[in-house]
Amino acid sequence: MEREIDPHDAVDYLIRNAKKFAQARAERIYLEEFRKTKKALLMKQSMEKTIIAQERDAYAHLEYQELLKGIREAVTIEEELRWHMVAAQARIDIYRSQEATARMEMKATV
């Protein structure tokens, strides 16, 4: 069963969610960059002498693990929004194809 596609709804969805997508992407990028800062801060707090031991402490630290969970959540939100936007664009493309087919059928019957 073919479903009627309203390209205006799809475009409206893209417009409504553009800012949410941009914010989700910005949050993900910020957290990925902040991860480096957090690692450096945690290494600085470490009582270990060697860089390797400080790095181990930083990666094992609860704050670093929480940051990684935040990155995971940010990526999940961004990807969900991105795929909804891809789907909306696909709906617009389907509508274009349907309209082109309808025009060709009209010309063939005239």
Task: Give residue-wise pLDDT tens across range 10-65.
Answer: 888 899 999 999 999 999 999 999 999 999 999 999 999 999 999 999 999 999 99
Q: How confident is the model at residue 2 (pLDDT cuts 50, 70, 90)?
A: low
Q: What does pTM read for this prediction?
A: 0.78
Q: Which whole-number Å values give the CA distances from 29 to 38, 56, 70, 78, 108, in the listed order?
A: 14, 24, 11, 10, 52
Residue 110 has pLDDT above 80, yes or no: no
Q: List the chain domain ranges.
A: 7-109
